[in-house]
Amino acid sequence: MENFTPWMSLAGGALLGLSAALLMLFNGKTAGISGVLAGLITPKKNEVSWRIVFLIGMVLSFLLVAPFAVSLPDISGENIFIISLAGLLVGFGTRISNGCTSGHGIIGMGRFSKRSIYATLTFMFVAMVTVFLRGLLGGL
Amino acid sequence: MQKSKFINLIISLVSGLLFGAGMIVSGMVDPNKVIGFLNVTGNWDPSLAFVMGGALAVFTPIYHLFIKQRQYAINGEELTLAAKTKVDSSLITGAAIFGAGWGLAGFCPGPAITSISAGSHITLAFVVCMIVGIMIANRYLAGRFALPFIGYNKT
């Protein structure tokens, strides 16, 4: 439990909730990241520019937190093959199930959507099992 | 550019900035921290439960008090909400496949996009593969091939 950071995590979570509420209340759009991205791969009229600008905001957000001495972690030690396989699974799975941790986990759950509650329980459970199995295999 | 369209884009930009900042501050951008949260049978770090807690504590009341009864957003456009309500096999299968990928890497779409600015080839590999995964899924959704257990997409 030495890495336990409940206050930072709570504050970060509040920012995510604020962002999702702002985008939906003012622009009527859903801040689900897999959905924002998928909408650029199959572009529709009037559905492109806000997505690009939203993603640019995300990429530039490190500037917003830099004054608070918070920065991105170094992940260069990760195994690129495992990461690539994971990327394929994440892209495929979120597209088929129409949402990810943000779309289902925050917005859908917040709306008390039955689909999102089932999806969130499913991906949480499978992710925990995956980590458990990898632990059994000695971190392969 | 019309003034209203400009304001829409500013709102999108601010939302993106807040979202990314939330991802960084909360620790979601750190795959080790995510794995620590998912590792419930090991040295469990429950921090990330607070991310979802904090997000829901802000979003849920705003949605139910100010958004739910509206048909249109403040900018006058219709609210685009997920329309499906039925729990079907592709929802569960897709969520399970996503969960496997999330557990393998400790990365989900939001943190991956946010981390692009750090310039790591690891993040780029993840994002490129994620886009390829979405493209393959689009072909599945168009009925081009079958998945194990659930077969072809019928809708």
Quote the pLDDT of residue A139. Answer: 59
Confidence label for A70 from pLDDT (cuts 50, 70 and 90): confident
Kindly state whether residues B56 and B13 are assigned to the same domain.
Answer: yes
Range of the domain at B29: 1-81
Last residue in a domain, options B55, B81, B107: B81
State whether residue B88 is helix, strand or coil: coil
Cα separations (Å) of B82 from A9, A28, A97?
Answer: 27, 12, 11
Do the Cβ atoms of A15 and B52 come within 8 Å? no
- For A74-111, the pLDDT digits (tens) are 888 889 999 999 999 999 999 999 999 999 999 999 99
Give yes or no for B96 touching A (CB within 8 A): yes
State pLDDT tens for residues A14-56. Answer: 999 999 999 999 999 999 999 999 999 999 998 999 999 999 9
Instruction: Give me the half-sphere count of Cα atoms (radius 13 Å) on the Cβ side of residue A100.
Output: 29
Q: Are residues B98 and B70 in the same domain?
A: no
Q: What is the largest CA-CA distance in chain A?
A: 49
Tell me what pLDDT residue A2 has.
57
Determine the pLDDT at residue A47: 92
Domain count, chain B: 2
Q: Do B68 and B90 reside in the same domain of the chain?
A: no
A134/B90 Cβ within 8 A: no
Among B34, B59, B81, which residue terminates a domain? Answer: B81
By the 8 A CB rule, do A90 and A100 touch?
A: yes
Closest CB to B113: pick one of A29, A33, A110.
A33
Query: Is residue B105 within a helix (H) or strand (E), and if so which, with residue range?
Result: helix B89-105
Task: Based on the fold, state whether residues B48 and B89 are members of the same structural domain.
Answer: no
pLDDT for the residue A74 = 87
CB B20 within 8 A of CB A62: yes
Tell me the shortest Cα–Cα distance from B144 to chain A, in angstroms: 14
Contacts of B11 in chain A (CB under 8 A): 22-23, 26-27
Choose the final residue of a domain: B81, B108, B124: B81
Write the residue in B16, B28, B48 that is nearest to A53 by C-beta. Answer: B16
Is some CB atom of chain A closer than 8 A to the CB atom of B146?
A: no
- Together in a domain, B65 and B90: no
Do B70 and B134 belong to one domain? Answer: no
Parts of chain B with a pLDDT under 50: none
| pLDDT value for B54 | 97
B109 in contact with A, Cβ within 8 Å: yes
pLDDT reading at A1 higher than 90: no
Q: How far apart are CA A128 and CA B66, in angstroms?
A: 35
- Cα gap A63→B138, rounded to integer Å: 34
How many CB atoms neighbour CB B57 within 10 A?
Answer: 15
Residue B36 has its nearest CB partner, among A3, A7, A16, at A3
CB A96 within 8 A of CB B90: yes
pLDDT of residue A83: 96
